């Protein structure tokens, strides 16, 4: 029973913290909360100082209890609420991930002569890896807080239905299997992606679910960026490595 109760309490605490992190307060509410903080803290310190000066142990003890109980809670609420993890904050983190963090990390995985073009619109990032004398590789990352889609243009024809292990995937099979091991699923229905020349290229669509707090957790964002960078670097190498002769 105690284990179940502890689990429930932890679940409630986690949900409460998540709610606070996503809470958006108007300016007047922030001013009120800040004023209450000042009143509680100053009141507790005043009681403590007067109790010590007047040698009233009971008052000093109550003041210490007030400060001990209220100050940590107020600090946590201040940090979480005033962090302003609102929709604007989430959009900013999305743009930061797609427009800066991911391109920088992917660039570190590619050969120095491979260039990466980046274009971000809202929650979508369009990327093109290219190098002199080699065909470009274009893909799009669609990040909508709880889910990500990766649309990868391929230089070969796809059937109406495709799945991992199909011979048509050729050199990409091993890389796609690695993505599957990391939680990505392959949509059996191929899609379309507008290529650099303006034409519609056939594309593979991979998708996976993300945790509720994905954008709010730096470690999760970093792992996602690194994992996707390894995957896309693997795609580039797979499409530009000649098969051994038999």
| For residue 243, pLDDT beyond 50 | no
The residue ranking higher by pLDDT, 23 or 196, is 196
Q: Which segments of 82-205 does DSSP mark as H helices, in order?
A: 87-96, 102-109, 173-181
Q: Are 217 and 211 in contact (CB under 8 A)?
A: yes
28-55: per-residue pLDDT in tens? 766 777 777 777 777 777 877 877 787 7
Q: Mean pLDDT across the chain, nearest whole number?
A: 81
Joined together, the tokens standing for residue 207 give 């998708």
Closest CA to 204 of 240, 245, 172: 172
Cα separation, 23 vs 80, in Å, equals 8
Per-residue model confidence (pLDDT) at position 46: 81
Are the beta carbons of 56 and 62 closer than 8 angstroms? no
pLDDT for 17 equals: 58
| pLDDT for residue 26 | 64
Of 146, 145, 149, 140, residue with least CA distance to 121: 140
The encoded tokens of residue 206 equal: 């991979």
Compute the distance between CA of residue 163 and CA of residue 159 in angstroms, rounded to an integer. 10
Summarised one tens digit per residue, pLDDT across range 51-107 is: 778 777 777 777 777 777 777 767 766 665 565 556 777 888 899 999 999 999 999
* Structure tokens belonging to residue 48: 């403590």
pLDDT, position 138: 94
- The pLDDT value given to residue 242: 56
Give me the pLDDT at residue 177, please: 92
Cβ neighbours, 10 Å, residue 236:
22
Over residues 200-213, the pLDDT tens digits come to 889 999 999 998 88
Please state, in angstroms and as integers, the Cα–Cα distance from residue 190 to each residue in 18, 23, 122, 160, 168, following that order: 36, 39, 23, 7, 12
Q: Which pLDDT does position 10 carry in this prediction? A: 47
Average pLDDT for residues 102-128, to the nearest whole number?
93
Interval 2-10 mean pLDDT: 50
Whether pLDDT at 15 is above 80:
no
Alpha-carbon gap, residue 189 to 93, rounded angstroms: 30
Full 3-state SS string of 186-208: ECCCCEEEECCCCCEEEEEEEEE
**pTM score above 0.85:** no
pLDDT for 119 equals 93
CA distance 201 to 52: 78
Cβ atoms of residues 72 and 193 within 8 Å? no
DSSP, collapsed to helix, strand or coil, labels residue 30 as helix
* Start-end of H helices in the chain: 2-22, 27-53, 57-81, 87-96, 102-109, 173-181, 218-239
Rounded CA gap, 193 and 125, in Å? Answer: 12
- Could you report the per-residue pLDDT of 135-162, keeping only the tens digit for each? 889 999 999 988 999 999 998 889 999 9
Tell me which of 17-21, 184-188, 229-233 is least confident.
Answer: 17-21
Residue 20 reports pLDDT greater than 70:
no
């Amino acid at each position: 029973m105690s284990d179940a109760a502890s689990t429930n309490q932890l679940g409630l605490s986690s949900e409460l913290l998540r709610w606070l992190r996503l809470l958006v307060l108007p300016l007047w509410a922030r001013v009120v909360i800040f004023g209450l903080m000042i009143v509680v803290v100053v009141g507790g310190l005043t009681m403590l100082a007067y109790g010590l000066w007047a040698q009233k142990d009971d008052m000093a003890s109550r003041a210490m209890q007030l400060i001990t109980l209220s100050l940590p809670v107020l600090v946590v609420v201040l940090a979480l609420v005033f962090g302003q993890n609102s929709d604007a904050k989430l959009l900013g983190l999305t743009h930061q991930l797609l427009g800066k963090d991911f391109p920088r990390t992917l660039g570190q995985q590619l050969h120095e002569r491979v260039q990466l073009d980046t274009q971000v619109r809202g929650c979508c990032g369009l990327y093109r890896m290219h190098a002199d004398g080699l065909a470009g590789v274009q893909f799009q990352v669609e990040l909508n807080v709880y889910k990500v889609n990766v649309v990868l243009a391929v230089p070969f024809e796809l059937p109406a239905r495709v799945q991992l292990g199909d011979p048509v995937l050729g050199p990409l099979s091993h890389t796609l299997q690695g993505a599957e091991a990391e939680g990505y699923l392959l949509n059996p229905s191929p899609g379309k992606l507008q290529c650099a020349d303006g034409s519609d290229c056939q594309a593979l669509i991979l998708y996976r679910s993300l945790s509720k707090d994905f954008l709010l957790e730096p470690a999760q964002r970093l792992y996602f960026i690194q994992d996707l960078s390894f995957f896309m670097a693997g795609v580039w190498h797979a499409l530009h490595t000649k098969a051994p002769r038999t």
